[in-house]
Amino acid sequence: MLLILLIVAFIVWLFAMIDAYQYGRIGRLLLHPKKALAATTMELPPLSIIIPTHNQATALRRHLPLILEQDYDRFEVIVIDMNSTDETKDVLERLELQDARLRHTSVPASARDISVERLALTLGFRAAIHDWVVITHPDCAPVSQQWLLRFGETIVDPHKGMQNPRLKEPDMVLGIVRYDEQRNSLLDYKVSFYRLWNEICHINHVLSGHTAVRAEGGNMAYRKRFFLEQNAFASGQGLKAGAEELMVNQTSTPENTALMITPSAMVIQESLPSRRQWTKHLVYYAETRRHQKHAHLFRFKQTMRLLAPWLVIIAVVLPWLAGLVSLFMEGPIISYGYTILQTCLLTLFIATYIATKLVWFNKTTKALRCNNYYLSFIIFELQVPLWALSAWLKRRFASRNEFRKKFV
């Protein structure tokens, strides 16, 4: 019986160790790149930046100048106003007088049969002058003035960086978005961790040669010609959220999807203001997942990653605790010796698992210049499946009309 218990514990530990090692993949690539990351000598393409917005005048006033100050020769910025009722129009008109590269358009108030967000993006693509379109949000700000430069380099020479080995020529470039980490509440730590955890899982999936399943809409580029050819919003037109994510999901292949994961290419998004907003975000994503294609392998891998720490608790930690208790109970000498051996082996399993996971996850956060989580990582990781389950249940019992445009 003891031998069977140790064999099961070893198998679970080995599976969990492989999963723990995968957390460091991005960190290993960024800290010890095998390929040169020097600036390319090729001519960089002109870029069109589109920003859909609704009642975000303050965010536009704060972040648009940072985009207009980018160290890039040829680009334009198009803001698509989704029927804002605040000072958005005034802010845009004042900024347009200061920089001719900025212009804006508006979504018709009478739009039907398509969500406002999807219509805004479609209008932005059609209004774009250049073939490559960068999509971001009003509450997002690039971390450096080389943000657009990283996009241009990835488009013309993607294999200089860390890429899917099957990539041929990109039609889309996916970047990283993280929440502003200046606030220090427990909610901010949870929200930032959950987003980073999902980013790491998805980047590892794409780096392994698979199709992109999801994307961060605040930091991505898409070829205009490809968008028009693919009719990227042909499905899910009535959904309120998930426009950019489903656009990538429906049209991505291993041969046309590039990653942009260097720290200078990241975008910082303003933190969610409340727990209610975070819950709403999770529930809407749970609805978006229902419409994803070619996601079975990604979801299986993600489920295994969710289960790994709980399996360790069941197969390793609980027997370890039972062994500790039995050491203080009277029993045969031979049983006592086996219990000591069992406890020592399980202690070794637990210590190496926790150390490996902490080292590699925090190495990745260091490479991405994010906050380190240290031991709190273990606590948050155990909560991830609970957060996902809670969102699924809320989505399951919510009205379907909650996630769709209310047609008039």
Q: Is residue 408 part of a domain?
A: no
Same domain? 282 vs 360? no
Quote the distance between the C-alpha of residue 260 and its chain's center: 12
Same domain? 241 vs 376? no
111 band by pLDDT with thresholds 50, 70 and 90: low
What is the pLDDT at residue 335?
Answer: 61
User: Residue 385: which domain range?
Assistant: 2-23+298-403
Q: What is the mean pLDDT of the chain?
A: 87
Same domain? 278 vs 224? yes
In angstroms, the CA 254 to CA 209 distance is 6
Q: Is residue 162 part of a domain?
A: yes
In this model, does residue 185 exceed pLDDT 50?
Answer: yes
Same domain? 102 vs 220? yes
Instruction: Single out the residue of 292, 135, 324, 134 nearest to residue 211, CA to CA.
Output: 292
Same domain? 66 vs 155? yes
Token pair recorded at residue 326: 């039995």
Please compute the mean of the pLDDT values over residues 42-68 and round it to a whole number.
93
The mean-pLDDT minimum among 20-29, 141-150, 166-175, 236-245 falls in 236-245
Please compute the mean of the pLDDT values over residues 226-247 and round it to a whole number.
78
In this model, does residue 401 exceed pLDDT 60?
Answer: yes
Instruction: Single out the residue of 219, 282, 211, 285 nearest to residue 249, CA to CA.
Output: 211
> Model confidence over 34-46: pLDDT tens digits?
654 555 667 899 9
Say which residue the tokens 């790994």 belong to: 308
Give every CB contact of residue 78 below 8 A, 6+ residues apart in sequence: 48, 49, 50, 51, 103, 104, 105, 124, 127, 128
Q: Is residue 32 part of a domain?
A: no
> Model confidence over 137-171: pLDDT tens digits?
999 999 999 999 999 999 999 987 788 888 989 99
404 band by pLDDT with thresholds 50, 70 and 90: confident
DSSP string, 87-151: SHHHHHHHHHHH-TTEEEEE--TT--SS-HHHHHHHHHHHH-SSSEEEE--TTEEESSTTHHHHH
88 vs 339, residue with greater confidence:
88
In angstroms, the CA 345 to CA 340 distance is 9
Same domain? 74 vs 145? yes
Same domain? 200 vs 122? yes
% of the chain surpassing 70 pLDDT: 91
Q: Is residue 183 part of a domain?
A: yes
240 vs 253, residue with greater confidence:
253
Q: Is residue 148 part of a domain?
A: yes
Give every CB contact of residue 363 below 8 A, 6+ residues apart in sequence: 24, 27, 28, 31
Instruction: Single out the residue of 201, 119, 127, 207 nearest to residue 162, CA to CA.
Output: 207
Same domain? 285 vs 305? no
14 vs 112, residue with greater confidence:
14
For residue 258, report the phi and psi dihedrals to the nearest 5 degrees. -105, 150
User: Which own/partner pairs from 87-94 qualify as long-range (CB within 8 Å, at least 24 positions apart)?
Assistant: 87/57, 88/53, 88/55, 88/56, 88/57, 88/60, 90/57, 91/57, 91/60, 91/61, 91/64, 92/60
407 band by pLDDT with thresholds 50, 70 and 90: very low
What is the pLDDT at residue 110?
Answer: 65
In this model, does residue 403 exceed pLDDT 80?
Answer: no
In angstroms, the CA 148 to CA 172 distance is 14
What is the pLDDT at residue 225?
Answer: 93
Q: Considering the entire predicted model, what is its pTM? A: 0.89
In this model, does residue 309 exceed pLDDT 90?
Answer: yes
The mean-pLDDT minimum among 190-194, 270-274, 385-389 falls in 270-274
Domain boundary (293, 321, 355) is at: 293
Same domain? 323 vs 243? no
What is the pLDDT at residue 408?
Answer: 32
279 vs 3, residue with greater confidence:
279
% of the chain surpassing 90 pLDDT: 57
What is the pLDDT at residue 180?
Answer: 85
What is the pLDDT at residue 374?
Answer: 84
Domain boundary (266, 293, 320) is at: 293
Phi-psi region of 263 (alpha: psi -120 to 50; beta: other; left: phi over 0): alpha
Q: Is residue 184 part of a domain?
A: yes
Instruction: Single out the residue of 114, 59, 117 nearest to residue 87, CA to CA.
Output: 59
Domain boundary (232, 259, 293) is at: 293
Same domain? 275 vs 195? yes
65 band by pLDDT with thresholds 50, 70 and 90: very high
Q: Give the CATH number for residue 244.
A: 3.90.550.10
Please compute the mean of the pLDDT values over residues 19-29 and round it to a whole number.
90
Quote the distance between the C-alpha of residue 205 and its chain's center: 12
Asked if residues 317 and 350 have their Cβ atoms less than 8 Å apart, the reply is: yes
In angstroms, the CA 234 to CA 212 distance is 18
Same domain? 77 vs 181? yes
Q: Is residue 28 part of a domain?
A: no
Q: Is residue 329 part of a domain?
A: yes
Phi-psi region of 236 (alpha: psi -120 to 50; beta: other; left: phi over 0): left
What is the pLDDT at residue 112?
Answer: 53
In angstroms, the CA 285 to CA 272 distance is 15
Overall number of domains in the chain: 2
Same domain? 185 vs 85? yes
